[in-house]
């Protein structure tokens, strides 16, 4: 399994943009379908976005569609989440995860028992 480390979180104002990065170790990253989830204390982890291991298709939750973009750079072993037009309700800890050759449509159903997960990065959006 790959090891995943998120970065790029921080405190921003509503309407600002932020780009999260998730760096992966190892040489199998190119086979990994990747996803981003987020979690607010006291609530369940929520699916945000996913991208197929080939980069040919992606999936977004309704709450971020049109504002967030997921991308994957296999040469850099990194997946990104570009977040635009941020809202206070986007405040959460953001986690990246990956699973080899997974169907992108299955990523939203995955919990911590499947795949590799990072430790998370905090995103706080002030109003």
Quote the distance between the C-alpha of residue 11 and its chain's center. 17
4-40 burial, b at 16+ Cβ within 10 Å, e below that, comes to: bebebbeebeeeeebebbbbbeeeebeebbbbbbbee
Query: Is residue 26 pLDDT above 90, yes or no?
Result: no
Report pLDDT digits (tens) over 86-119: 999 999 999 999 999 999 999 999 977 889 999 9
107: left (phi over 0), alpha (psi -120 to 50) or beta: alpha
Report the alpha-carbon distance of residue 105 to residue 94 in Å, rounded. Answer: 19
Q: What is the pLDDT of residue 112?
A: 78
Query: Is residue 20 pLDDT above 90, yes or no?
Result: yes
Report pLDDT digits (tens) over 36-78: 999 999 999 999 999 999 999 999 999 999 999 999 999 999 9
Report the alpha-carbon distance of residue 78 to residue 73 in Å, rounded. Answer: 5
């Amino acid at each position: 399994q790959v090891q995943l480390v998120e970065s790029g979180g921080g405190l921003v104002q509503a309407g600002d943009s932020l780009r999260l990065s998730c760096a992966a170790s190892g040489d199998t990253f190119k086979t990994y379908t990747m996803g981003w989830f987020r979690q607010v204390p006291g609530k369940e982890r929520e699916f945000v976005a996913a991208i197929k291991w080939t980069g040919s298709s992606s999936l977004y939750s309704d709450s971020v569609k049109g504002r967030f973009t997921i991308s994957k750079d296999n040469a850099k072993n990194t997946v990104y989440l570009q977040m635009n037009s941020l809202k206070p309700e986007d405040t959460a800890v953001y986690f990246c995860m990956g699973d080899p050759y997974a169907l992108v449509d299955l990523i939203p159903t995955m919990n911590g028992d499947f795949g590799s997960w990072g430790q998370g990065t905090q995103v706080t959006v002030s109003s």
